[in-house]
Structure 1
Amino acid sequence: MSSSLVKKPIDLNFESLFKLINPLLRANLSHPKIERGFRWYIKFSIMYGIFLSVFILLVYSIIFQDLKNGDSTQACANGILCVVYIVVTFNYCIMFTYRNVLEELIDRMNHDYKLAKNFPEKEQDIVLSFAQKGQGIAKIWLIVGICACGLFIVKQFYLTIYYTITSEFRLIHLYDLTYPDAVEQVKYNTVVFCILYIYFLYYDVFATMMFIGFSPLGSIFMLHACGQLEIAKERILEIFKEYKSSEEINKQLKEVATFLNTTYRFVDNLQFSFKVLYELTLKSTIIVVPITLYQILESLKKGEFRVEFITIIVGGITMSSIPCYYSDVLMESGDNLRMAVYTCGWEAHWERESRIMILMLLLRVSRPVAIRTMFRAVCLDALTEVYHQAYAIFNVLNAAWN
C-alpha cells in the first residue's frame, strides 16, 4: 500500500467515511446525533404522517377491496408494501430506542480512528482496509436501494410507452391501487393523477432512504470490530518475537488486554442494539421470501409482472445475507485471535506474571466473538437454515395450491 494511503487514517471519521448513509439518516431525521427539539418533532410528524397515510390506504385496499373481490395476488402485492412500512417503522424504533448506544458506537469508531494516527504502518493499513470494506457495504445498499426504488418508475414508463405504441395513450399510476370511491372515480384526472404519483413516489423514496441509511450500520460496526481484533492479533504475535524484559512484556500484555476489553465492549453494544432486529429479519425472511416467490409464479401465470415482488425478494435476501456473512467474518477474527494468543510463543518465557496474564487472555478469548440474536448466533450456518426453511415453506405452498 502506498504511503499516501497509509496517511489517510489521520483524517478518518464516521461522517466523512460514510457520506452515502449519513446524509440520508439526517434527511429522514433518524441520525443518532441529530438534535431533537420542537422543530424536529414537527418535521418528523409531517414526514412520517404522509408515509403512514399511504400504509392506511394499502390496508384499506386489502381489507375492503382485494379480499372482498377475491383478488389474492393484488392483496399480496399491497401486503408486501405494508411489510416495507413495518420494516421502516421498526428501523426507526431501533434508531430511537438505542439512540445513545448507537451514538456511543459511532463515537468509539471515531476515537479508534484518532488513535490510529499513532499506530505502526501495518496497523494503519488494517484500519484503512476495514474502513474501505465498510464503504463497500454502503455502496452495495445504495445500488440495491436505487434499483428497488427505480423498478417502480421504470415499469410505469415502460407501460406508458407500450400502451402509447400498441393502442392509445393512457395514464399509468406509479402503483395501481383501489382507493375509496371519492378518489377512485377521479384518479385518472390529470391533476389527481399527478398528486397520487407524487404521493406514492414519496412513499417509495422515503422507504429507500431508510433502507440505504440504516441497513449497512450493523455490518459496518462488525467490520470495525474485525479490524480491532486483527490489530490485537498482530500485537500479541509481536510480543514474544524479540527478547524483552519481563516488565516490558507484562506492560504490553496489559495494553493488549485493555485494548481487547474495549473491543469486546464495542461488540456487546452492537449486539445489544441489533439482536432483536436480526432475529426478526431472519424469521421474516423464512416467511416472506417463499410467499413472495409463490406469488411471482402465480402472477406470471396470469400474464402479469409485479416488480414489487422482485424488490421484496432481493431486499429480504440482502437484509439477511449481509449481516450473517459479516458476523461470520467477526467470528473468524475472534478464532484467529484465540489461536494467536495460544501460539504467540509464551511457552519460552518463564516469568510467572506473564503466564498468568496469558492464561487470563486465553480465558477471555475462549468465548466466541459473534453477534447473537435472542436464540442463535448470526452466521452463515443460521442463514443456510433460514434458506432451507424458506424452501420447505415454498414447496408446501406450491403443493397445497397446485
Structure 2
Amino acid sequence: MPFIDLKTQYKALQPKIQRRINQVLEHGQYIMGPEVKELEEKLAAYTGAKYCITVASGTEALLISLMALGIKTGDEIITTPFTFVATAEVIVLLGAIPVFVDVEPDTGNIDAKLIEAAITPRTKAIMPVSLYGQPADMDEINAIAARHGNIPVIEDAAQSFGAEYKGKKSCNLSTIGCTSFFPSKPLGCYGDGGAIFTNDDAIALACKEIRVHGQSQRYVHTRIGVGGRMDTLQCAIVLAKLDRFDHEVEQRLLIGQRYNKILGEAGVTTIVQRSDRTSIFGQYTVRVQDRTNLQKYLNECGVPTAVHYPVPLDEQPAYRDLCKAGHTPASKKIAGEVMSLPMSPDLTIDDQDKICAALLAGIKQ
C-alpha cells in the first residue's frame, strides 16, 4: 500500500500526460515555453486571483514573495513553528527574523488570537501556513494586519491548493498566496515546481522579474533576483493533471470525511476541520500516544505512516539562535503526537478500512 498513490493517478492520465510532454519535446522551448503562460492563466482563473507566477518550487515561491516585498536584514516575519522548514528557511536566508507564534491545538494552524501581541515596529509580514490542507483563520489575520498599517500577509499554501475558505480558494485569501507542485502535493508535477498568486500589480511585476534574475528585459537587471523559473515540462504535467483535479478534490473531501467518521466514532483524536472552510487533506493526520510503537505496528500490518512534523522549528538546531524566542507549548505537544495516514484521491474503501482497522487495533495494544 503506497502512502500516496501516484501510480494510479498516472495510469488514469497517461495519454494526456504523454501528449503534453511530447508537445514540449516537439517545440523544444524547455524554459518559459508556451505551457508556462497557459498554466499561469488557468491557475489564476481557478483561484480567482488576478496573477499567477509559476516558479521553481514552493520554497522559491516564498523566497521570491519576500524579496518582492523588500524584506531585508533585521525585519521580523510572524509565522508558525509547526510547519516544514522552508517557511522559516526563506526568512533567515534574507537576514530577517522568524517570530514564532503558537498554534491551535485542534487544527495545528497558527493561533490568530496570539498574533497581535507579537507585532512590533519591525514586523514586515505575517506568514500563516495552511497546514495539512486547511486554511488558517485568514479573515482574522488579514484584519490584524490591516489594523497595523496593512502588513502584507503571505499564505503558505503549499499543502492546500484546492481548499476553500468562506467560499474563496486558498492562494487568493491575502496579499500573496504561495503553493507547491512537489509530486506529493494535492496538485503535483513530476519534480519541483510552485506558484505565487496575488492581485497586486506591483508585487506581480516584482515576482516576474525576480524569478528571471531580476530582469525587466533581457540583460537589463532592475532588481536582485534568482533563477526561479518553473520548467516548461513540469508546467505541461500540471496542465494535464488539471483536467482531473476537480474530481480529485471531490474524492479527497469524501475520503477525509470518511476517515473523520470512522476514527471519530472510535475516539481517535483527529485534526479538526472548521465548518467555514474545507481541507484538501494534503495529509490526513491523527494525534496518538506512543507514536513510535504504533508506527512500528502499522508498518508490520502493511500500513505506511509519516510524521509532519516531529520537531517545531524554534527547537531546530539551525534556527534556535536565529528566531525571536516565543512561548509555543501547543506546537511542542502536537509535534510529539501527530501521525499522518495514507491519503490520495485514489485510496480505495477497502484500503481505508484496512488502515482504520489496523490503527484502532494498534491503539488498543
- TM-score higher than 0.5: no
TM band (smaller chain): under 0.3
**Higher CA-based Rg:** 1
Higher RCO structure (Cα 8 Å, ≥6 apart): 2
Pick the structure with more strand per residue: 2
Compute the TM-score of the two structures, normalised by the length of structure 1.
Answer: 0.22
